């Protein structure tokens, strides 16, 4: 975070320049998207062609809640301008991994992360890294739409205001963000009305607009459609396909069809009981191109899960 006071428009940068960080020595430009599990390498399932630059990289990431190890040794890279889906049965730690990507799990007392999570090569859990700055670059959309009890306008303007973004005209930022979230036409005449008057799907798109208003580079989505009906879900999915032109998206979903529809890559997690005390610890089974995961998975557990035999 060389310039913490001025959140740069990383998304626009990345959209224009295929390799914007070429001159930046702190950025690991050689990082690639791989499933670096030994089995995957042995089985030769790493696609040798599709290797876009990694925005986020997890290396041997384990997350503990107190003494309980929720997730064990996850290694995966999140590719730029891709949608990465995390799927798996309940309690497999996919949400835990997602929340560790922007340090939202810092808010749960007793949480500890081991291993390395790097953002363009910088360890986001390093001592001198400000979690607030991490969350400005890596935004989050939650399971239940959670607009602030304020007007639609104020919901969108909140992020730019608190992060001290230099904006010549807040009205433009609000309009741009609402257009970006495909909500502008529905709300342009009632910007001053309470966000609570919107439908669930509109509220969730407002939450997305609010997130993109601070111009993050990555958007984390924790089951963003699980509280929505199929029509609202379809609109969010369309929106995600639009957003990935400018942003990198990581989505946790319980809906395998959703992962198959939108995700470029899919990571399958599962939980297995430890031998000693029976605590169920989540781990990454397989991470690959979505087409591969859903047509020709490399692990029997993945195949059982996506074909509905468990989970």
Partner 1 sequence: MTALTADRVGPPKPLATAAHGEKGLRSMAFLIALWLCLAFGILVLAVLLVTTFLDGRERMDSGLFTNYTSQIAPETAGARAAILGTAWVILTTALMAIPIGVAAASYLEEFASRTSRFARFVELNVQNLAAVPAIIYGMLAAAAAVAVGIPRNTVIAGGIALALLILPVVIVATREALRAVPQEIRQASLALGASPMQTLSRQTLPAAVPGIATGTILALSRAMGEAAPLLLLGGLVFVKFDPNGFLSGFTTMPIQIFDWAARSQVEFQQLAASASILLLVLVIVLNGLAIVIRNKYSAAR
Nearer CB in complex with partner 1: 116/163: 163
| List 36, 94, 135, 292, residue binding partner 1 (CB under 8 A) | 135
Interacting residues with partner 1 between 59 and 98 (CB under 8 A): none
Q: Are 274 and 72 in contact (CB under 8 A)?
A: no
DSSP string, 33-91: -----HHHHHHT-S-SS--PBEEEEEEEEEEEETTEEEEEEEEEEEETT-EEEEE-STT
CA–CA distance, 147 with 152 (Å, rounded to integer): 9
- Tell the smallest beta-carbon distance from residue 172 to partner 1 (Å): 19
- The 8-class DSSP code of residue 21 comes to T
Q: What is the three-class DSSP state of 186?
A: helix
Encoded tokens for 146: 């959670």
Interacting residues with partner 1 between 161 and 190 (CB under 8 A): 162-163
Q: What is the three-class DSSP state of 204?
A: helix
CA–CA distance, 68 with 258 (Å, rounded to integer): 31
- Tell the smallest beta-carbon distance from residue 159 to partner 1 (Å): 4
Of 67, 174, 158, 76, nearest to 116 by C-alpha is 76
Contacts of 156 (CB under 8 A, 6+ apart): 173, 174, 177, 178, 206, 209, 210, 213
| List 158, 170, 261, 303, residue binding partner 1 (CB under 8 A) | 158
| List 142, 234, 291, 301, residue binding partner 1 (CB under 8 A) | 142
Nearer CB in complex with partner 1: 118/151: 151
- Tell the smallest beta-carbon distance from residue 210 to partner 1 (Å): 7
- Tell the smallest beta-carbon distance from residue 196 to partner 1 (Å): 6
CA–CA distance, 144 with 136 (Å, rounded to integer): 21
Q: Are 26 and 120 in contact (CB under 8 A)?
A: yes
| List 73, 133, 175, 304, residue binding partner 1 (CB under 8 A) | 133
- Only one of the segments 130-138, 224-232, 243-251, 262-270 lies at the binding site for partner 1 (rule: CB under 8 A); that segment is 130-138
Q: Are 228 and 200 in contact (CB under 8 A)?
A: yes
Interacting residues with partner 1 between 193 and 212 (CB under 8 A): 194, 196, 207, 210-211
- Tell the smallest beta-carbon distance from residue 243 to partner 1 (Å): 16
- Only one of the segments 12-20, 133-141, 242-250, 302-310 lies at the binding site for partner 1 (rule: CB under 8 A); that segment is 133-141
Encoded tokens for 223: 């089951």
Nearer CB in complex with partner 1: 32/143: 143
- Tell the smallest beta-carbon distance from residue 76 to partner 1 (Å): 21
- Only one of the segments 41-49, 82-90, 137-145, 168-176 lies at the binding site for partner 1 (rule: CB under 8 A); that segment is 137-145
Encoded tokens for 203: 């509220």
The maximal CA–CA distance of the chain, rounded, in angstroms, is 60
| List 23, 25, 44, 149, residue binding partner 1 (CB under 8 A) | 149
CB atoms under 10 Å from CB of 222, counted, come to: 20
Nearer CB in complex with partner 1: 158/184: 158
- Only one of the segments 44-52, 76-84, 131-139, 228-236 lies at the binding site for partner 1 (rule: CB under 8 A); that segment is 131-139
| List 107, 128, 276, 308, residue binding partner 1 (CB under 8 A) | 107
Residues near partner 1, by CB under 8 A: 7, 102, 104, 107, 109, 132-133, 135-136, 139-140, 142, 144, 146-149, 158-159, 162-163, 194, 196, 207, 210-211, 214
């Amino acid at each position: 975070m060389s310039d913490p006071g001025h959140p740069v428009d990383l998304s626009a940068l990345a959209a224009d320049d295929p390799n914007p960080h070429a001159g930046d020595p702190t950025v690991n430009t050689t990082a690639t998207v791989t499933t670096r599990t030994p089995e995957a390498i042995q089985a030769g399932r790493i696609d040798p062609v599709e290797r876009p630059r990694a925005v986020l990289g997890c290396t041997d990431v384990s997350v503990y809640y107190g003494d309980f190890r929720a997730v064990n040794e996850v290694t995966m890279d999140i590719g730029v301008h891709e949608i990465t889906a995390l799927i798996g049965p309940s309690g497999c730690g996919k949400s835990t991994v997602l929340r560790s990507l922007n340090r939202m799990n810092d808010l749960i007392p007793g949480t500890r992360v081991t291993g390395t999570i790097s953002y363009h090569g910088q360890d986001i859990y390093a001592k001198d890294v400000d979690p607030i700055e991490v969350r400005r670059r890596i935004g989050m959309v939650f399971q239940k739409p959670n607009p602030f009890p304020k007007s639609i306008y104020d919901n969108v303007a909140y992020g730019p205001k608190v992060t001290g973004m230099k904006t010549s005209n807040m009205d433009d930022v609000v309009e741009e963000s609402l257009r970006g979230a495909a909500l502008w036409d529905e709300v342009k005449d009632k910007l001053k009305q309470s966000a609570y008057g919107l439908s669930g799907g509109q509220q969730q798109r407002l939450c997305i607009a609010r997130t993109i208003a601070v111009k993050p580079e990555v958007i984390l989505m924790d089951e963003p459609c699980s509280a929505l009906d199929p029509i609202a879900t379809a609109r969010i999915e369309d929106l995600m396909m639009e957003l990935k032109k400018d942003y990198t998206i990581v989505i946790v979903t319980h809906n395998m069809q959703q992962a198959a529809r939108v995700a470029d890559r899919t990571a399958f997690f599962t939980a297995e009981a430890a031998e000693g005390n029976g605590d169920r610890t989540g781990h990454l089974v397989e991470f690959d191109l979505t087409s591969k995961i859903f047509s020709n998975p490399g692990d029997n557990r993945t195949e059982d899960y996506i074909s509905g035999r468990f989970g």
